[in-house]
Amino acid sequence: MWAENWRDTLWQQIDEPDRPWDLIVIGGGITGAGLMREAARVGARVLLIERDDFASGTSSWSSKLVHGGLRYLAQGEWRLTLESVRERQAMMKAAPGLVDPLNFLLPMYRGSKPGRLMMGAALTAYDLMAGKRYSRYLGADRFTRRMSALRASELRGGFAYMDARTDDVRLVLRVLSEGLADGGQAANYLGAESLLFEGDRVAGVTVRDRVNGRSGELRARAVVNAAGPWVDALREQAGGEPRIRPLRGSHLLFRAEQLPLTEALTLFHPRDNRPLFAFPWEGVTLFGTTDLDHPDWPANPARMTPQEAAYLEEALAHYFPLHPLKSSDALSAFSGIRPVVNTGAASPSEESREHALWAEKGLLTVSGGKLTTFRGTALEALRKLADQVPALADVNDESPVLGQAPQVKAGLQRMAGRLGADYEAAAKTFDTSQIITGTVYRWAELQWAVRHEAVETLADLMLRRTRLGLLLPQGGRDLLDQVGGLCRRELGWDVTRWEKERRRYISHWQEAHRPPVAA
């Protein structure tokens, strides 16, 4: 948790130029959070800085899956799949309520590619990697009984298997919280303006605080660039050439009654055979994703286009004829940029999701990779810095991916999984019995977030600390009066500030999350 007046306390440390940090991590997504947490675990003096809100980039807008990635097997990426499956198993064990098993069904239609034999072999390998048998083949009748919403015409049967789902932002916040508990520091809205050099080596960064307007210099023994799709901008200051291929992925969220699923589906788009997912998430149904080059990044923000909406509608009509849906029927839409390393592959989906490391004039850059494998990425990067920061020689593959979530009574495991070790303090402070009508959220989650999770804007609360802005009609407008009372009381916002936040949030939701009409 972030303590009261934590930003002022941080600036007291920034104003001590004779006391450099061991490590500065630039970027507050899952990669940066993993780096900060693992460095703090071994006693390094580490600071993570993020120019916007924590997890506001790629780590807000993933497909919400903690998975091995069956398609990576098809691409021959066995090592990546094995690492992903093992990390999935570890996270499910450590973080019930945050990373939960999810049953998947994969239908096989007449002429499906890949065929039954190849898909069966891939799933067998998947299970062997997990050390547990999850998959099996179901005939058409059994498959239809389990997934009645799906088109039955030409269905030959299909596979059942297991992966896991999460709330990607809450995963980032839990990793950050554990890093804070071990002595690390993390600041949102503290942007790296430029790199500092001593001779020809990076020795720190200049920063600007977007909350209080202060600027300063931060010195460090080592600096890691983990800014996701923005890494090339910093690398250029150290003489690096652009290496990132920004790819856009977009999703739709429907009310559960619009697309009623109790299990997840892996599907293949009828036009190009690209994998799609449909599954229950946070009380709604998530459907996606696209995978497209995103030109003019970062000047052009990620938004679902009418063409993407049409692409997703085409798949919906193909697989769910009994539930005719248009993109404009959705509760919300979201798009994100994947910071994939550019290898020159012919299509976006052929690019590897392996991470990459580059060292340029003392700046270590980490990019690519997957949500699921964040710990392995962090450990590999930190080991490369052990000569500069001796404490980092102690990073350990055997360290737990997450601290163990507390065991709680039925109905509260979801909240406990999201808060981890902070859950007990939250449950003692706030009434956990009050559920926000029509959602899976408890008012205690909002109260805790506003008081202890570095909320600076209404969007932080509605789109990241919670996902209410995606799960409720019109971004949760009907809830805003109650939320406003909480923010004014806990954050000290006056009426003018609240109205400014409300207008800005609604405008942002309309621009970024209102479902587009298909082209």
Q: Which H/E stretch holds residue 159?
A: strand 155-165
Give the pair of three-digit tokens for residue 217: 């210099």
**How far is CA 20 from each of CA 16, 46, 391, 489, rounded to the nearest angstrom?**
8, 10, 15, 37
Give pLDDT, residue 74. 66
AA identity, residue 432: T
- In a domain, residue 67? The reply is no
What is the spatial distance between Cα 357 and Cα 339, in angstroms, rounded to a whole number?
A: 13
For residue 438, the model assigns a pLDDT of 94
Read off the pTM: 0.97
Could you identify the residue written with the tokens 């980490």?
A: 366
Answer yes or no: are the C-beta atoms of 127 and 133 closer than 8 Å.
Answer: yes
| Domain with 116 in it | 84-167+249-336
Residue 69 is predicted with a pLDDT of 77
Please state whether beta strands 215-225 and 21-26 pair in parallel, antiparallel, or not at all (unpaired): parallel
Instruction: Give the domain-ending residue among 344, 362, 394.
Output: 394
On the CB side of 292, CA atoms within 13 Å amount to: 22
pLDDT of residue 343: 87
Ramachandran class of 391: left when φ > 0, alpha when ψ lies in -120 to 50, beta otherwise: alpha
**Beta bridge partners of residue 109, listed in sequence order:** 155
H or E stretch at 500: helix 495-512
The Cα-based distances of 251 to 275, 310, 324 in angstroms read 13, 12, 17
Q: Taking Cα atoms as reference points, which of 415, 340, 508, 395 lies closest to residue 173?
A: 415
Cβ within 8 Å of residue 295, ≥6 positions away? none
Q: Which residues contact 8 (CB under 8 A, 6 or more apart)?
A: none
Does residue 64 belong to any structural domain of this protein? Answer: no
Do residue 327 and residue 190 come from a single domain?
Answer: no
- In a domain? residue 446: yes
The DSSP call for residue 264 is: E
Using DSSP's 3-state secondary structure scheme, residue 271 falls into coil
In a domain, 408, yes or no: no
Q: Which residues lie below 8 Å from residue 144, measured CB to CB, with a gap of 6+?
A: 150, 152, 155
- Scanning the structure block, which residue is given the tokens 């804007």? 457
Task: Specify the 3-state DSSP secondary structure of 311.
Answer: helix
Radius of gyration of the chain (CA): 23
Residue 71 forms part of a structural domain: no
Three-state SS string over 306-339 comes to HHHHHHHHHHHHHHCCCCCCCHHHCCEEEEEEEE
Q: 279 — phi, psi (to 5°)? A: -160, 155
Return the CATH number at 302: 3.30.9.10
Nearest alpha carbon to residue 78 among 352, 316, 301, 270: 352
Q: How many residues does the chain have?
A: 519
Contacts of 38 (CB under 8 A, 6+ apart): 375, 378, 379, 382, 395, 399
- Of the residues 336, 368, 384, which one is the last residue of a structural domain? 336
Shared domain check, 198 and 327: no
- CATH code, domain carrying 498: 1.10.8.870
d(CA 151, CA 149) in angstroms, rounded, equals 7
Look up residue 44 and give its two tokens: 């390094």
Q: Domain for residue 68, yes or no?
A: no
Tell me, yes or no, whether 22 and 161 share the same domain: no
Sign of CA dihedral 424, 429, 434, 436: negative
Q: What is the pLDDT along the chain (519 residues), one digit of tens a residue?
A: 898 899 999 999 988 878 899 999 999 999 999 999 999 999 999 999 999 999 999 999 999 999 987 777 766 778 888 999 999 999 999 999 999 999 999 999 999 988 999 999 999 999 999 999 999 999 999 999 999 999 999 999 999 999 999 999 999 999 999 999 999 999 999 999 999 999 999 999 999 999 999 999 999 999 999 999 999 999 999 999 999 999 999 999 999 999 999 999 999 999 999 999 999 999 999 999 999 999 999 999 999 999 999 999 999 999 999 999 999 999 999 999 999 999 888 888 878 878 899 999 999 999 988 899 999 999 999 999 999 999 999 999 888 999 988 889 889 999 999 999 999 999 999 999 999 999 999 999 999 999 999 999 999 999 999 999 999 999 999 999 999 999 999 999 999 999 999 999 999 999 999 999 998
Question: Which tokens is 22 given?
Answer: 């061991």
Residue keyed to tokens 């392995």: 376
One domain, residues 158 and 279: yes
What's the total number of domains in the chain?
A: 3
CA dihedral sign, ordered 512, 514, 515, 518: negative
- d(C-alpha 38, C-alpha 175), whole Å: 9
The verdict on 468 and 492 lying in the same domain is yes
**Distance from C-alpha of 287 to C-alpha of 456, rounded to nearest angstrom:** 30
The whole-angstrom separation of Cα 108 and Cα 150 is 12
Residues 236 and 378 in one domain: yes
* 3-class DSSP assignment, residue 231: helix
Q: Does one domain contain both 386 and 456?
A: no
Residues 365 and 302 in one domain: no
Count CB atoms within 10 A of the CB of residue 316: 23
Token pair 């910071």: residue: 339
**What is the structure's pLDDT at 406?**
87
Task: Tell whether 232 and 358 lie within a shared domain.
Answer: yes
Contact by Cβ (8 Å): 336, 249? yes
Do residues 269 and 154 share a domain?
Answer: yes
- Positive or negative, the Cα torsion across 70, 72, 77, 79? negative
Examine residue 400 and state whether it is found in any structural domain, yes or no: no
The answer on 90 and 128 residing in a single domain is: yes
d(CA 501, CA 519) in angstroms, rounded, equals 32
Q: How far apart are the first and last CA of the chain?
A: 45
In a domain, 119, yes or no: yes
* Alpha carbon distance 152, 109 (integer Å): 9
Q: Where are the alpha helices (DSSP H) in 15-63?
A: 30-41
What residues contact residue 267 under an 8 Å CB cut-off, 6+ apart?
A: 106, 107, 275, 276, 277, 278, 315, 319
CATH number of the domain within which 216 lies? 3.50.50.60
Distance of CA 23 to the CA centre of its chain: 23
Task: Give yes or no: residues 356 and 236 share one domain.
Answer: yes
Q: What are phi and psi of 491, to 5 degrees?
A: -100, -5
